[in-house]
Amino acid sequence: MTVVQPNDYSAEELMAVVMARCLRPAEVAIMGAVSALPQAACRLAQLTTAPGLWYIAGGSGAVNPHQDPLVASSCDERLLEADAVLPLLEVIMLEGRGDIFDVFFAGGLQIDASGNCNLGPVGDWARPTLRGPGGVGLPFVSRSRRVIIYSTSHTRRTFVEKVDFISGPGFMDNGDRSRQGPSLIVTPLCTMDFDPEKQRARLASVHPWVAIDEIFERTGFDLVPAGPVPATAPPTDGELSVLRRIDSCGLLRRGDA
């Protein structure tokens, strides 16, 4: 197994590889609209470590799309060449059932220390400074067995202490510790997991080109590691070769994910 050096791959390619490694054979995954990263991760997993994985490209309703090359949005009509295509209403209904999806890939304009995601208004509810696209199926993240949050932006505007509006619930502050929250956050700088007792994000790994102080400076909440923080394991040459066959147009290399 050959390990690829950091200058040979992009941050988005590493993010896709990290997400793919989390997926298991025969699981079912779902994602939202702007989803090149989880699409790439799912297809990479299908072709490497998780054969039998199923995924739905949420906006299109495409089940296991026969995509080539990778597209930026799950709403792209090219995804309709797939094993099956479900109406959007049926996709949302399946998200709400709680017995279908093993993995939900989520994101937000804001993501907070408890793993809550905001795709709605930023700022005051009555007079927001920015109004996002809305949650659509995001409120149903709590119905999935695992939630992986991803963001191609790692700034204090994105990673905040508390979101202005909850579109997708993480660990709620209502004292209920019985409900499963998100398991992982993946960004261009690092990965985060969650302290099982405090139910807050903590630093899990640092990408090879990043200084740990930069992560602290660009995160809007205290990010306490559980202990010594390892470097994120880079892609192998095999992973990167398969990923670039999937992403033959180079969306992830150009930072267009």
CATH of the domain at 194: 3.40.1080.10
Which of these, 164, 166, 214, lies nearest to 189 by C-alpha position?
214
Is residue 39 within 8 Å of 31, Cβ to Cβ? yes
Q: Is 194 part of any domain?
A: yes
Asked whether residue 152 is domain-assigned, the answer is yes
pLDDT digits (tens, 9 = 90+) for 237-251: 999 999 999 999 999
Q: Answer whether residue 1 shows pLDDT above 70.
A: no
Q: Is residue 145 part of a domain?
A: yes
- Is pTM beyond 0.75? Reply is yes
Percent of the chain exceeding pLDDT 70 equals 95
Return the sign of the alpha-carbon dihedral for residues 197, 169, 25, 76: negative
Number of domains, the chain? 1
pLDDT at residue 178 tops 90: no
| CA atoms within 13 A of residue 87's CA, in its CB half-sphere | 3
Domain that holds residue 124: 6-254
Instruction: Give the separation between CA 69 and CA 76, rounded to whole angstroms.
Output: 12
pLDDT of residue 175: 58
**DSSP letter (8 states) at residue 234:** P
Is 1 part of any domain? no
Q: What is the DSSP string of 156-189?
A: TTTEESS-SS-SB--S-SSS--SS----EEE-SS
Once rounded to an integer, what is the mean pLDDT over residues 115-126?
95
How far apart are alpha carbons 186 and 232 in whole angstroms? 11
CA distance 69 to 5: 25
